[in-house]
Amino acid sequence: MEKRHVVILGAGPAGLGAAFQVTRLGRARVTVLEKNSVVGGNAGSFDLAGMRVDYGSHRLHPACDPAVLSDIREMLDGDLLDRPRHGRIRLRGRWIHFPLKPLDLAFKLPPSFALGVAADSVSKLTPRRPAGAELETFASVLERGLGRTICRDFYFPYARKLWGLEPETLSAVQARRRVSAGSLAKMVRKALRSVPGLKPPGSGRFFYPRDGYGQISEAYRHAAEQAGATFHLGARVDSLELDNRAGATVRYEQDGHRHSLAADFVWSTIPITALASLLNPSPPHEILHAARSIDYRAMILIYLVLEQEQFTEYDAHYFPESNIAITRLSEPKNYSESKEPRSRTVLCAELPCSPDGPEWNQSDEELSHLVCDALAVAGIPVRAPILQVTTRRLRQAYPIYREGYEADFNLLDEWLGKVEGLLTFGRQGLFAHDNTHHALYMAYAAADCINAEGRFEQTRWREYRRIFESHVVED
């Protein structure tokens, strides 16, 4: 019997993981269409001034599913480094180690902040439940769990920068899915995990490929090709013609030419909002309206090449404070502990923004000034000569969970779920604030749903969807 054909849209971790797992299991024939000329999506890497850099701070978290982690280890063949996390957060003008450490908290926390947290924790001994009719939001869930001080000084200003919205207008889902330490007790437990003797395996550590985070995606591409998958890069999918009896026709543009592919299954990992607009015949008006009602936060990544060996010893700096425009600064060399090149290092600053906002069209020079000003305010000014500035723009960095977004997402998701042969998954495909290991887990799950006869088992996929609901993003 001829194998059925799965056409996968997008070659980020979700698309790559699916291409690898389906071909490895021999369940179907696979073709991957990716609009970029390289694989990896937001989890890719590129060369800059003789160094490999990522799209913002990326780490592989030890929470990764063991089967996925074992595949990554094998593919990277000794190149997956096990590294200690060594970052810091700026809080009321002071630096606190991140992940949190008890001694650091005891001695470095600003006294007014520590007193505020202590007072909040006492008042929480007599917990106040929200009034029945009161609507739960990101703000109410976190204030109840963590108290006012941590919210006011850390989570709320950080949230305003990350999503561009007031915490009261963000959905409670954002707090549950995004904040892994959602209560003071959990935060204390997390901090205690850094104490020798109480430390569970993997705590305070991360995995990182020797040649940049994108090495994971490149290895998946290689393994998928070895197993028989076909990749078309620089191939932007712009139309999906559906015929419930005869599968689908996927149309794409590559090198200025139009192409089409017949597919039994179309597995999309591109933004769910874009997927809706590609369908032919077009979905009903209310579905298109739902797709237009949800959106992703964009991000500009600003890279400064400095003429110095190392900027600081820290892998990442986190900036919740509102007077500093960027949210995070990473130094890629410190992730892989690379010493080369001796005379240069790169800083990568993350600036969440809107594509309609003023920053989106700013020049590299203007953006480099913005970063230097931010670092000067933070007390870590750039003193070495800046050899080069470059920027990258991510249109879909984070899904925005505006209060009430669930209704629009569910409508869209349910409608797409009924389209025969079509599956949407991955971070963009399920509008999920997920990590790479979650996207890869979804990919393996999708492959597992094709049975030995080549049919897709919807019931099993629904069970997996319930598991995906339990994913909580790791910072």
Ligand X SMILES: Cc1cc2nc3c(=O)[nH]c(=O)nc-3n(C[C@H](O)[C@H](O)[C@H](O)COP(=O)(O)OP(=O)(O)OC[C@H]3O[C@@H](n4cnc5c(N)ncnc54)[C@H](O)[C@@H]3O)c2cc1C
If you write DSSP's letter for every residue of 219-250 in order, what string do you get?
HHHHHHHHHT-EEEESEEEEEEEEETTTEEEE
Nearest approach, Cβ of residue 132 and ligand X (Å): 37
For residues 127 and 439, give the distance between their C-alpha atoms in angstroms, rounded to a whole number. 37
Task: Identify the DSSP state of 254.
Answer: E
**Strand 257-263 vs strand 247-254: parallel, antiparallel, or unpaired?**
antiparallel
CA 17 to chain centre: 16
Nearer CB in complex with ligand X: 204/426: 426
For residues 144 and 121, give the distance between their C-alpha atoms in angstroms, rounded to a whole number. 10
Using CB under 6 A as the binding rule, whether residue 403 contacts ligand X is answered as: no
Using CB under 6 A as the binding rule, whether residue 209 contacts ligand X is answered as: no
What is the size of the binding site for ligand X (CB under 6 A)? Answer: 36
User: Which residues have C-beta within 8 Å of that of residue 340, sequence separation ≥ 6?
Assistant: 50
Asked whether the beta carbons of 252 and 232 are under 8 A apart, the reply is yes
Helical spans, DSSP H, in 50-94? 66-76
Can you tell me which of 13, 99, 182, 204 binds ligand X, judged by CB under 6 A? 13
Which of the residues 261 through 290 are near ligand X (CB under 6 A)? Answer: 269-270, 274
Which of the residues 321 through 360 are near ligand X (CB under 6 A)? Answer: 350
Can you tell me which of 397, 422, 423, 449 binds ligand X, judged by CB under 6 A? 397
Nearer CB in complex with ligand X: 117/270: 270
Using CB under 6 A as the binding rule, whether residue 35 contacts ligand X is answered as: yes
Nearest approach, Cβ of residue 426 and ligand X (Å): 3
Q: Which amino acid is at 421?
A: G
Using CB under 6 A as the binding rule, whether residue 428 contacts ligand X is answered as: yes
Nearest approach, Cβ of residue 8 and ligand X (Å): 9
Using CB under 6 A as the binding rule, whether residue 434 contacts ligand X is answered as: yes
Contact range with ligand X by CB under 6 A, out of 40-48, 113-121, 195-203, 354-362: 40-48
Nearer CB in complex with ligand X: 76/109: 76
If you write DSSP's letter for every residue of 119-132 in order, what string do you get?
HHHHHTTSPPPPPT
Binding site residues, ligand X, CB under 6 A = 9-15, 33-36, 41-43, 56-59, 61, 236-237, 269-270, 274, 299, 350, 394, 397, 426-428, 434-437, 439
